[in-house]
Structure 1
Amino acid sequence: MPRITVKKNTVFESYVIYPAVHHRLKSFNFTSNALANQEKYCTDSFENVNIVVSKVKAGGSYDEIFHSLMQDQACNTIPISHSLVSQLLHRFKDDWKSALGVFKWAESHKTYTPLSDSYETMLDILGKMKQMEKMMSLVEQMNRHHLVTIGGIAKVMRRLCGAGKWEDAVIVFDDLHRFGLEKNTESMNLLLDTLCKENKVEQARKIFLELKSHIPPSAHTFNIFVHSWCKVKRVDEAHWTIQEMKGYGYSPSVITYSTIIKSYCRQSNFSKAYKMLDEMQAQNCPPNVVTFTTIMCYLTKNDDFNEALRIPEKMKLFGCKPDTLFYSTLIHTLAKAGRVQEAVDVFEVKMPSVGVLPNTSSYNTMIAMFCHHGLDQEAINVLKSLQGSQLCRPDIRSFNPLLKMCFRKGKTDVLLGVLVDEIVTPDNSSQYPYML
């Protein structure tokens, strides 16, 4: 298979590695005694993490951190495990020097060799912090241990593209054979998707044209392009991609069509969105509830409430049943249109009558509506109902409208007191500590 044409040489550099042997974690027997041992293990593990963290000096180089840990007596008595390394890397996910120093310290122990996912976490940390040379050197180190996976390569390509080095991402794809991986439909799609997510859709298209005679595309390949062309507001190319997709024997899915419909809605071109609904029906690919929810949402954003409120009837014509998200959007539309009682009827009557259960978002929409219209007691009643629900729990968005209304109305002495009583209860005082 020919290599993809890019004007680059290589992205791999040499890197100092520390030898280690493979290690497997022992599984626990979950008997009553083993559960106690497991609890003690977790406590010990947490303490060990804190010991290592306390020994890491912020601002030092990764080599200084490595040598400091190697020379520390307390650290050298800690048993190295995959769990310990995973927790440490999570602690230092935004500090690549500390993460790399700790990682090198862990892998230097003869009784421990990092697993693939620990290496991949380290790759992601280095890539996120734009340490590309070190990231690529770590890939080489993984390759020597035969630990490179397609998941790790996906992370590397994504970070390279995110740093503006899309040509290097292509070179990594070209070198897959060196890691014992295949250039196939899956890996090609990973590359194309990575490029497209960084708005390099034209470059992705050129690469696809080079590869398609050697690697068969899948339906997902074309959906990547449909989504990406729509993202950069080139809907005509998305339509051409659908025709190309059909030429390969793949039928566009409801997701494919709905992506284009969403793009038209973003442009407020609802006439074309409706035409696409008819095309879907003609292609025996009827729209689903997500399609109609999207249209109604964008009509509401355009303040076209009358047209938005016709969507439920249009949906019936297509034999599509509403779900919780659809009803939440409908309530929001009615609220913005000032039709408060109709919104209440949807929430209290319509949804229960068809067996659609509300979620936290549904309750939050009702709370926001009542707050917007100055109906403070009704909003608090909905919050109480949400707190008593067996199905869902309040979140930060449940309280924000109420708190804003308190200050807007100047009722911080009475209304805020009631609200604090609702927040600070034995059941949820620990759940919302940030509210106090």
Structure 2
Amino acid sequence: MTCRFSICLWNVCVASLCKARNLEKAEAVIVDGIRIGYLPDVVTYNTLIAAYCRFVGVDEGYSVLHRMREAGVEPDVITYNSLIAGAARHCLPSRSVDFFEEMLQIGIDPNVWSYNTLMHCLFKSGHPEGAYRFFLEMISNNVQPSPFTYNTLLNGLCKSGNAKNALRLFRRLERFGFSAEVVTYNTIINGLCKAGMYGAAKRILTELGESSNSPNAITYTTIMKCCFKSGKFRQGLEVFAAMMDKGYSSDVFAYCTIISALVKMGRIGEAHSHTDEMLKNGIGLDMACCNTLIYMYCKEGNLRTAFQVLSEMEEAGLGSDEYTHSILVDGLCRTGLFVDAQNLLKKMESRGLNSNLVAYNSLLNGLCKVGNLDAALALFNKMELKDSFTYASLIHGLCKFSQFRLASKLMRICLREGISVLSSAQRAVVSGLRVSGLKRDAIKLRAAIRTARLLRS
């Protein structure tokens, strides 16, 4: 006869192998255990179901449920919670609901995590009404919500574009005596900021400061990022200053946010001082931060230092991404170093980054601005991917150097293929044709533009 301690140890072994994604060995351990007299229990099968759902697929996890029943082991609420979580992880809301309903049909009462996981899945999949319906069902079934429940609701409502409803729910929770934690405050503040409701977010921040909780670095960084995104640079700087006055140690994300904002404001000196401060505080640089520094140096025309940062990134094993090279290509084009920009693009292509549309657009725009139309047209024909900015840049460049017929031809391609081009580019072509004495071409192009607008409406 086996002792209970041995079965617990066996389950720990199975769980360790599952965590290491070695499911074949976990299955082999179970088979070996059965041979010497161990019988898997509900914990054993739940461990397998969770692992298969996480690392393989929901169907594979559900197949373990059949084996479980054949062995005479009845599933419990944890079994179905694992299946619901697996479906949620793979963005399968209908399967999550099916598992939930199956659990009810066989008489297993869902717990708070059953509802939390299901609501998270429905919100994530774009079904906020369904998520809120299950919340109401949870209340009617006397299942006590947890703080995570309310955070899931608030976050889900905000991300689905219902920030105002999230704020109303937050107020209702206060009246019901729910004691919000700092995580809850951060959730609603983040949602309100993303919805552009800066005033409401600031009021919540004030309430947080007056509550028994205290704002943390995440709170301040969220507000600060919102300020910069909405063009409220002065308020963003004030929030950063308040954060530092409170004694919070700013992380790399906060520093990147403030440095990027200062560069956009043209306050390069202050950006440098924050960079030095960040390095002095021993904050390790990541790729996002290095990209911010490269952007700063390119903005001030200091390309040598920008490429030095790139070299240090690669030496440190951080590598570089398409965004890194886009910044550098744009910086080279701004200083008229088009040959170097083209060489950098060739280097990108050799590394498999030939789909970097932003970098190609930067080079195309630069060539058009200096009137190198032959090189611009050659690059345009070479580009596999094109967007509205690609066409607009070339059209403006052709108009600038009086190539109105070619610009008109390009405009017609855009209209025919449904490519949206800026109204300013359209007006430039029509006006250019008129000034050049090509009035008939101008009339035809205007008619084509009107037709395209009617077809889109």
- The residue number in structure 2 matching 1:258 is 186
1:81-128 Cα distance to aligned partner (Å, 9 max, x none): x79x95799xxxxxxxxxxxxx9xx99xx9899976555455468867
1:298 & 1:207 partners in 2: Cα distance?
32
Q: Which moved more, 1:134-143 or 1:371-380?
A: 134-143
- The residue number in structure 2 matching 1:400 is 325
1:218-254 Cα distance to aligned partner (Å, 9 max, x none): 1111111111121223234323433454466542122
- The residue number in structure 2 matching 1:67 is none
Give the Å deviation of 1:280: 0.9
Are 2:266 and 1:338 equivalent residues in the alignment?
yes
- CA distance 1:155–1:341, change in 2 (3 Å): same
Give the Å deviation of 1:296: 2.2
Give the Å deviation of 1:347: 0.6
- CA distance 1:126–1:338, change in 2 (3 Å): same
- CA-based RMSD: 4.7
Tell me, yes or no, if the aligned pair for 2:208 and 2:214 is still in contact at 8 Å: yes
Are 2:289 and 1:359 equivalent residues in the alignment?
no
Higher relative CO (CA 8 A, sep ≥ 6), structure 1 or 2?
1
- The residue number in structure 1 matching 2:243 is 315
- The residue number in structure 1 matching 2:167 is 239
Tell me, yes or no, if the aligned pair for 1:199 and 1:232 is still in contact at 8 Å: yes
- CA distance 1:305–1:116, change in 2 (3 Å): same
- CA distance 1:352–1:147, change in 2 (3 Å): farther
Q: Which moved more, 1:247-256 or 1:392-401?
A: 392-401
Which of residues 278, 281, 285 is equivalent to 2:209? Answer: 281
Tell me, yes or no, if the aligned pair for 1:161 and 1:169 is still in contact at 8 Å: no
Are 2:93 and 1:155 equivalent residues in the alignment?
no
Tell me, yes or no, if the aligned pair for 1:327 and 1:351 is still in contact at 8 Å: yes
Q: How many residues align?
A: 326
Give the Å deviation of 1:336: 1.5
Taking only the aligned residue pairs, the percentage that are identical comes to 22
SS at match of 1:326: helix
Are 2:98 and 1:168 equivalent residues in the alignment?
yes
Tell me, yes or no, if the aligned pair for 1:324 and 1:358 is still in contact at 8 Å: yes
Give the Å deviation of 1:334: 0.9
1:118 & 1:166 partners in 2: Cα distance?
18
1:340 & 1:313 partners in 2: Cα distance?
18
- The residue number in structure 2 matching 1:210 is 137
Partner AA of 1:251 in structure 2? S
1:385 & 1:275 partners in 2: Cα distance?
43
- CA distance 1:356–1:261, change in 2 (3 Å): farther
Which of residues 125, 134, 139 is equivalent to 2:65? Answer: 139
1:155-181 Cα distance to aligned partner (Å, 9 max, x none): 344279625456424304425756xxx
Which of residues 195, 202, 206 is equivalent to 1:267? Answer: 195
Tell me, yes or no, if the aligned pair for 1:154 and 1:190 is still in contact at 8 Å: yes
1:195 & 1:274 partners in 2: Cα distance?
29
Larger radius of gyration: 2
Tell me, yes or no, if the aligned pair for 1:86 and 1:118 is still in contact at 8 Å: no
Tell me, yes or no, if the aligned pair for 2:189 and 2:204 is still in contact at 8 Å: yes
Give ranges in structure 1 of 5+ residues lacking alignment. Answer: 1-23, 28-81, 90-102, 424-431
SS at match of 1:233: coil
1:278 & 1:25 partners in 2: Cα distance?
49
- The residue number in structure 2 matching 1:185 is 112
Tell me, yes or no, if the aligned pair for 1:383 and 1:398 is still in contact at 8 Å: no
- The residue number in structure 1 matching 2:405 is none
1:308 & 1:220 partners in 2: Cα distance?
29
1:219 & 1:280 partners in 2: Cα distance?
16
Give ranges in structure 2 of 5+ residues lacking alignment. Answer: 1-9, 355-457
2:192 & 2:342 partners in 1: Cα distance?
47
Partner AA of 2:306 in structure 1? A
Partner AA of 1:205 in structure 2? Y
SS at match of 1:359: coil
1:368-400 Cα distance to aligned partner (Å, 9 max, x none): 2223444310102223444566xx734436842
Tell me, yes or no, if the aligned pair for 2:122 and 2:128 is still in contact at 8 Å: yes
Give the Å deviation of 1:197: 2.3
1:273-319 Cα distance to aligned partner (Å, 9 max, x none): 21111111122323222222222223322333333323223335655
